[in-house]
Amino acid sequence: MSEEHTFEARNGSSWQLPAIVVLGLVAVGGLGFGWNASSKLDSTQQAVSTEVKSMQQSVQQDMASLKDRIAQDEKANTDLQGDLKVVTDKLKITQGQLKKARAEAAKLNDETSQKLTALDTSVHSELATKAGTEEVKTVDTKVTQVSTDLNTTREDLKMAKSEMGTLIARNHDEIDQLRRLGERDYVEFTVVGRNKPQKVANVTVELKGINQKKNQVNIAMTVEDKRFEKKNRAINEPIFFYTSGTHLAEEIVINKVGKDQISGYVSIPKANAQSASASSTSGK
């Protein structure tokens, strides 16, 4: 009986030890796996935290940039509203001047017609009362002169008018005719070559492009350090602009286009020169 008990005890201890070892290894493996998972979790949390901070910084930067853009847009809007008010005020003045110019032109036409009619009546009366051959020849000469003057006046009246009521000269001869009226100064110019700014009176003209088939030009103008472009402008089409201290529009007209070359004139109201002079004197 004692031998059997001894054998059973030995058999029992022989399988318990490996079981304990296996359980120990499993426990160690579990601890290692748990420590590894914990390390990965900490690393992941740190990465997520870093990315969140980066996103927060990026959002803050975007918000700051957006605020700056909004501030710039508001300033630009304020500036545009101010410019619009200035343009609107000038347009009101221009409309009044346009009505006045049209009324003066109509009055001038009426006065010219009346003078021509009176002169023609006077010449015919003189012709009827004169009997001598030499006197008749003299009167005929006067009639011929009147007819010539009448034709010249009619041709002058055919000259196109701008929306501001100013007469538009199409060539050098018509520019001379406008000079004789004495209301505006005319500065003729020729620009040869593209992208070559040329000073003409108080505006700088620069040729940008030409369409000879359509008689159109693209030019850049600089007036008192302000540069702006005019595209697809036809010949004999006036371009209006204003200078500081003046209320009357100045104009630039292109009469002729060629290969990389344009010719025209700048028209300046004499009242502008007086206003500019007065402004300069008051400033001193």
- Residue 215 falls in which region: left (phi positive, over 0), alpha (psi -120 to 50) or beta: left
Q: Which CATH number does the domain housing residue 239 bear?
A: 2.60.98
Average pLDDT over residues 225-246: 91
Question: How confident is the prediction for the chain on average, in pLDDT?
Answer: 76
What pLDDT is recorded for position 26?
A: 77
Question: How many independent structural domains does the chain possess?
Answer: 1
Residue 264 lies in a domain: yes
Higher pLDDT, 183 or 129: 183
Residue 38 lies in a domain: no
Average pLDDT over residues 89-97: 64
What pLDDT is recorded for position 240?
A: 93
pLDDT confidence of 82, banded at 50, 70, 90? confident
| 203, 189 contact by CB (below 8 A) | no
> Which tens digit of pLDDT belongs to each residue from 204-233?
999 999 998 899 999 999 999 899 999 999
Return the structure tokens found at 219.
């030019």
Residue 6 lies in a domain: no
Residue 234 lies in a domain: yes
pLDDT confidence of 154, banded at 50, 70, 90? very low
Residue 56 lies in a domain: no
| 241, 215 contact by CB (below 8 A) | no
Domain that holds residue 238: 172-283
Average pLDDT over residues 273-279: 53
HSE (side-chain half, CA atoms, 13 Å) at 253:
25
Residue 110 lies in a domain: no
Residue 181 lies in a domain: yes
> Which tens digit of pLDDT belongs to each residue from 11-62?
555 667 777 777 777 777 777 777 776 777 777 777 777 877 777 777 778 7
pLDDT confidence of 103, banded at 50, 70, 90? confident
